[in-house]
Amino acid sequence: MKTASLPSLRVDPELRAAAESVLKEGESLSSLMEDSLRRQIDYRKTQAEFIARGLAGLAEAERTGVYYATDDIQELMRKKLEKAKARKAVQQK
């Protein structure tokens, strides 16, 4: 597959210097920018999916009239966490 290029990015000299100051050994400014872009894309997709699940949950609650109290959900999550920790402890033995 052919590669494509992105538009040039004009930034203040201070921002470029800050970016260059955090480069790891062997890392280029281009690779830092590509990694940052990939992470931001992943973040935005995850955020959009989270919002979609929340809105779907709201629609389901409105449709059914079934709502859950925060304390009930937190307790459910605590129990799930305890079970997961117990399974992990058994697996590590």
Torsion of CA 73, 77, 79, 80, to 10 degrees: 140
The residue written with tokens 């790891």 in the block is 24
- Letter for the amino acid at 34? E
pLDDT digits (tens, 9 = 90+) for 14-73: 999 999 999 999 999 999 999 999 999 999 999 999 999 999 999 999 999 999 999 999
9 close to 33: Cβ distance less than 8 angstroms: yes
Task: Give the burial class of 19: count Cβ atoms within 10 A of its Cβ; 0-12 exposed, 13-18 middle, 19 or more buried.
Answer: middle
Does residue 1 carry a pLDDT above 90?
Answer: no
pTM above 0.85, yes or no: no
Does residue 93 carry a pLDDT above 90?
Answer: no
Overall average pLDDT of the 61-88 stretch: 96
